[in-house]
Amino acid sequence: MGAAARAPRLELKAISKRFPGVVANDHVSFAVPAGAIHALLGENGAGKSTLVKIIYGVQGADEGEIAFDGERVQISSPREARALGIGMVFQHFSLFEAMTVLENIALGMDEPPPRRELEARVRQVLDTYGLSLDPYRHVHTLSVGERQRIEIVRALLQQPKLLIMDEPTSVLTPQEVEQLFETLRRLASEGCSILYISHKLHEIKALCQSATILRGGKVVATCDPREESARSMAELMIGGSLKALSDKSGAAKGEARFVVASLSAPGEPPFGTSLKDVSFEVRSGEIFGIAGVAGNGQNELMAVLSGETGKGVTGSIHLDGAELSRLSVGARRRAGLASSPEERNGHAAVPAMSLADNAILSARSRMGLASGGVIKAKAARDYAAKVIEAFSVKATGPGAAAGSLSGGNLQKFVMGREIMQNPAVLVVSQPTWGVDAGAASFIRQAMIDLAAKGACVVVVSQDLDELLELCDRLAVINEGRLSEPMAVKGISIERVGLLMGGIHGVGQAGAKPEAGVRRPTADARQPEPAL
C-alpha cells in the first residue's frame, strides 16, 4: 500500500496507436501524480484526443501499458474506466435538450440511485463545489456554462480519482472560466488528479503545474508551464517559430461603408434566439468583431446578413448607401457582400462536389463562372486552381471533392473563394474553428490583408482571443441583442465577459431589455456570486 500511495495516479508507458496511414500516438509516456493538474498540450491532430480515448477506454492502444495508482490496468470500455475512478468531461456535451438536468445526470450513470437519493447527492455536490444549477430545469433553457456543469456534476458523482477535461473552456465566458478553475483547483486540493487538455496557453499557465506537449503523435517536451512563456510553449507545439500577424495600423480609417440598423428577426424554431434591434457600422478597412457565447443569435445574424433568412426581418442593411436587406443571397453577392457560415461541410461547401463546382456556387456572378445559365467549366477550374494556389490549400486539384479535404484546408479554400472575389464586405462566422494553428494564422492574415485594401470585415467568433488579436472594434451579442461597440485597444476583458454573460446596462445603451418579454434563460445567465 505504501508503494501505491507514492506511485503516480496515472502513468502511461510507451503508448502507441496506429490508424491506416497515420501514427496517432508514438511511444507516448508521461505520469500524473495524485492531486496534480497536468496539461496535455498540442495542436489539432497532434494525437491528444486519441490518447484521451485510450485512457478512457473508448479505443485500445496497439502497444504500451497504463498504470493506475501503481497497478497495471487494462481499460477496454468507458465503464471500466469509470469503475477505476476515471471521469471525463467531453468537449461536445452528450446532453438531451428536452430533458431535465436530473434525468441527464441519471442517464450518464451506470447504476443511478433512486431519484430522491440522486437529487440529494446532486445537491450535495453542487453545494460542496459552490456550483449553481437547478436539477429540475430543462437543458434547452441552460447556458453553455451551465450545461458544462451538468457534465462536471455527472463526473464528480462517481467520486473520480482522475478527471479528464477535454477543451473545457472553448465556449465559456472569462468569468465562467475563472469559476471552473476554482472548482478544478479545489478538486485537486482534495487529491483528485486532473488531466487538462487545451491549446490555450495562458489558461494552462494559470492552472497547471506540469504539461506534456504533443506534436505529430510524439511527446516533444514536458515542462512546468508556470516557468515557460506562452510563446515558447506555442513554438514547441507547432514545431517552428510563430509568425506574428502583420501590424494592422493604418487600416480602418475611412467612413462607415457597411451600416446595419435596427435589425430584428425571429429565432429559428424550436429553440432559436430572435434578433432584437441589432445595429452596427463598419468603416472602410475595419475588422469588426462580434463576440458571444454560442446560441445567442449568431447563426440568426449570419443568416440575416447573408440573405438566407428574409422572413420576418425588419431593419436595414446598407452597403455604400445601397439598401440590401430586401435582396436575395445572389443579389447581395453581386453587390459585394460575401459571407462564409460557421459550418464548412454542408453549408459553406457541398462535400460531395468538386472544389471547382463549389467555386461556382458562390463566385459565379462576380467571377463570371457562368453566363446565361450555362456553366463555364474551364473558368471555374481556373478560379478554383487560383484559390488553391493563393491560399496554399492542400488538395489534389480543382477536381478534388470538398469533403476529401481536412477541416483546415477546406476552411482555407472557402475563405479564399470569398476573399478572391474582392468583396466590399466579408461576413464570416468562426473562421478558424477547429483549424490548426498554421492555417488559422494564414486565414487571419488573409482577412487583415483584405481589410487593408479597404474592405469591411465582420467576424463572428466565440474565440475572444482571436477577436482581440484581429479586430479594431468589437461588440458582444447576448440573447439576440448586440452591445455598443468597443475599441479593442484598451478594452476591459472583464466588461466583455459580463456582457457575454448577459449583464446588460453596464455603461452600454445598445441593449434595451423588453420588460416581461425576456426568456427565462436571461435570468439563468446572470453570473453567480463568486465562490
Partner 1 sequence: MSLDLLVAILMTVAGAATPLLIAGLGELVVEKSGVLNLGVEGMMLIGAVTGFAVATTTGLPVLGALGAMAAAALASAIFAFLVLTLMANQVATGLALTIFGTGVSALIGAPFVGITTPTFGPIFPEALTSSPLLRLVFGHSPVVYLGLILTLAVSWFLARSRAGLILRAVGESDTAAHAIGYPVLKVRYCAILFGGAMAGLAGSYYSLVLTPMWAERLTAGRGWIAIALVVFASWKPGRMLAGAYLFGLVITMELQAKAAGFNMFAPEVLAALPYVATIAVLAIISAAKRGGANAPACLGKSFRATA
Residues written for the chain: 531
Would you say 475 and 486 are in contact if contact means Cβ atoms under 8 Å apart?
yes
Which of 416, 428, 420, 452 is closest to 247 using CA atoms?
Answer: 452
Phi, psi angle pair for 311, to nearest 5°: -75, 130
Q: What count of other Cβ atoms lies within 10 Å of the Cβ of residue 389? A: 10
Task: Considering the complex, state which of residue 88 and residue 425 has its C-beta at the smaller distance from partner 1.
Answer: 88
CA distances for 241 relative to 106, 448, 519, angstroms: 47, 20, 48
CA angle 502, 504, 510 (to 5 degrees): 120
Task: Considering the complex, state which of residue 267 and residue 454 has its C-beta at the smaller distance from partner 1.
Answer: 267
Task: Considering the complex, state which of residue 306 and residue 309 has its C-beta at the smaller distance from partner 1.
Answer: 309
Task: Considering the complex, state which of residue 101 and residue 500 has its C-beta at the smaller distance from partner 1.
Answer: 101
Hey, what amino acid is at 474? Answer: L
Q: How far is the CB of 108 from partner 1 (least distance, A)?
A: 6
Q: What count of other Cβ atoms lies within 10 Å of the Cβ of residue 508? A: 18
CA distances for 26 relative to 114, 215, 273, angstroms: 45, 10, 45
Using only C-alpha atoms, the chain has a radius of gyration, in whole angstroms, of 24
Residues 6+ apart with CB under 8 A from 482: 278, 279, 280, 290, 475, 476, 510, 511
Q: How far is the CB of 344 from partner 1 (least distance, A)?
A: 18
Distance CA 407, CA 53 (A): 21
| Residue appearing with cell numbers 429553440 | 271
Q: What count of other Cβ atoms lies within 10 Å of the Cβ of residue 183? A: 17
3-class SS of residue 16? strand
Task: Considering the complex, state which of residue 85 and residue 112 has its C-beta at the smaller distance from partner 1.
Answer: 112
Q: How far is the CB of 480 from partner 1 (least distance, A)?
A: 18
Q: How far is the CB of 107 from partner 1 (least distance, A)?
A: 5
Task: Considering the complex, state which of residue 103 and residue 479 has its C-beta at the smaller distance from partner 1.
Answer: 103
363 torsion bin: left (phi>0), alpha (psi -120 to 50), beta (else): alpha
Would you say 370 and 319 are in contact if contact means Cβ atoms under 8 Å apart?
no
Task: Considering the complex, state which of residue 164 and residue 278 has its C-beta at the smaller distance from partner 1.
Answer: 164
Distance CA 237, CA 229 (A): 12
Q: How far is the CB of 98 from partner 1 (least distance, A)?
A: 5
Task: Considering the complex, state which of residue 114 and residue 250 has its C-beta at the smaller distance from partner 1.
Answer: 114
Task: Considering the complex, state which of residue 122 and residue 447 has its C-beta at the smaller distance from partner 1.
Answer: 122
Strands annotated E in 320-470: 322-323, 337-340, 370-371, 374-375, 425-429, 456-460
Q: How far is the CB of 19 from partner 1 (least distance, A)?
A: 12
Task: Considering the complex, state which of residue 22 and residue 322 has its C-beta at the smaller distance from partner 1.
Answer: 22
**What DSSP letter does each residue of 289-347 carry, written as one string?**
EEE--TTSSHHHHHHHHHTS--TT-EEEEEETTEE-TTS-HHHHHHHTEEEE-S-TBTT
Task: Considering the complex, state which of residue 24 and residue 456 has its C-beta at the smaller distance from partner 1.
Answer: 24
CA distances for 80 relative to 29, 32, 84, 159, 213, angstroms: 21, 19, 6, 14, 27
Distance CA 328, CA 331 (A): 5
Q: How far is the CB of 201 from partner 1 (least distance, A)?
A: 29
Strands annotated E in 20-110: 22-32, 37-41, 63-68, 71-73, 86-89
Task: Considering the complex, state which of residue 163 and residue 393 has its C-beta at the smaller distance from partner 1.
Answer: 163
With residues binned 3-state (H G I as helix, E B as strand, rest as coil), the percentages for the chain, rounded to 5, are 35, 25, 40
Q: How far is the CB of 270 from partner 1 (least distance, A)?
A: 5
Which of 459, 463, 403 is closest to 433 using CA atoms?
Answer: 463
Name the residues that contact partner 1, by CB under 8 A.
77-79, 90, 93-99, 103, 106-108, 112, 269-270
Task: Considering the complex, state which of residue 78 and residue 174 has its C-beta at the smaller distance from partner 1.
Answer: 78
Q: For the chain, what is the largest distance between any 2 Cα atoms, rounded to a whole number of angstroms?
A: 82
